[in-house]
Amino acid sequence: DTEVTQTPKHLVMGMTNKKSLKCEQHMGHRAMYWYKQKAKKPPELMFVYSYEKLSINESVPSRFSPECPNSSLLNLHLHALQPEDSALYLCASSLLPYGAQETQYFGPGTRLLVL
Amino acid sequence: AQSVTQPDIHITVSEGASLELRCNYSYGATPYLFWYVQSPGQGLQLLLKYFSGDTLVQGIKGFEAEFKRSQSSFNLRKPSVHWSDAAEYFCAVGPVNAGNMLTFGGGTRLMVKP
């Protein structure tokens, strides 16, 4: 099973709302990732969690707050977003966080629209 | 720094025709190379990957890719395209000795004519 699940599939929120995106995998992977993808662009890395600890934050604004409660679950908390944050948010996981030959498996994404 | 270039933004082929999508990378050593496919509004699905060994790798859905070190290329091919292959294709490179960060190319959108 190489499945990464994400909920919700679609999310519409106002600029004052607080919402959360959820990502789950049951493959025993110890690295999880959040990417942001704008239309017609490749995914851009936002955060990397290794063994449930934040290891990389690609200078993401603080209105995005990641959380990794356990090795299977990754959340992205959203607060006071801007319309330009509207995008497809992709979660991925890999068996090990570093090096070599660790393939990232992607979820289907959450399509976010900020009004 | 590593980088990936996909020279073709759009490609249109007829159903049943052969396909080649180009990917060139820049990296100081032999990288790990991937091809992903993304259908509209969907996540990325891994088609194939190259780490070492045989430079011709087979993937899912009848795709293959060939690593050519001398040309810094990792082109994706399929002998006969199906209408369901219409999608966005991303080539990506991963570092060998650092954190597991993928660098993606800009993508190639494939359209298939009936």
How far, in Å, CA of A62 to CA of A77, rounded? 10
**Chain B: closest CA distance from residue A29 (Å):** 13
What pLDDT, on a 0 to 100 scale, did the predictor assign at position A101? Answer: 56
Q: What is the share, in percent, of chain B residues with pLDDT greater than 90?
A: 74
- Residue A104: list chain B partners with CB under 8 A: 46, 100, 102
Instruction: Give A 21-50 residues with CB within 8 A of chain B.
Output: 31, 40-43, 45, 48
| Top mean-pLDDT range of A39-43, B24-28, B57-61 | B57-61
Which residue has tokens 């908390």?
A: A77
Cα separations in angstroms, B3 against A59, A87, B23, B93, B102: 20, 23, 11, 8, 10
pLDDT (0 to 100) of residue B75: 98
DSSP string, chain A: ---EEEE-SEEEE-TT-EEEEEEEE-S---EEEEEEE-TTS--EEEEEEETTEEEEE-S--TTEEEEEEETTEEEEEEES--GGG-EEEEEEEESSSBSTT---EE---EEEEE-
| Residue B11 in contact with partner chain A when CB distance is under 8 A | no
Cβ–Cβ gap A42/B107 under 8 Å: yes
Looking at the complex, does the CB of residue A103 fall below 8 Å from at least one CB of chain B? yes
> What is the average pLDDT across A67-83?
95
Asked if residue B96 has pLDDT above 70, the reply is no
Question: How large is the average pLDDT for residues A6-11?
Answer: 96
Neighboring chain A residues of B46 at a CB cutoff of 8 Å: 103-106
pLDDT over threshold 90, residue B77? yes
Which pLDDT band, with edges at 50, 70 and 90, does B64 fall under? very high
Confidence category of residue A46, pLDDT binned at 50, 70, 90: very high
For residue A52, count other CB atoms closer than 10 A to its CB: 16
Residues of A in contact with B42 (CB under 8 A): 108-109
Question: What pLDDT is recorded for position B82?
Answer: 96
Q: Is the pLDDT of residue A1 over 90?
A: no
B99 touches chain A (CB under 8 A): yes
Mean pLDDT computed over A12-31 = 93
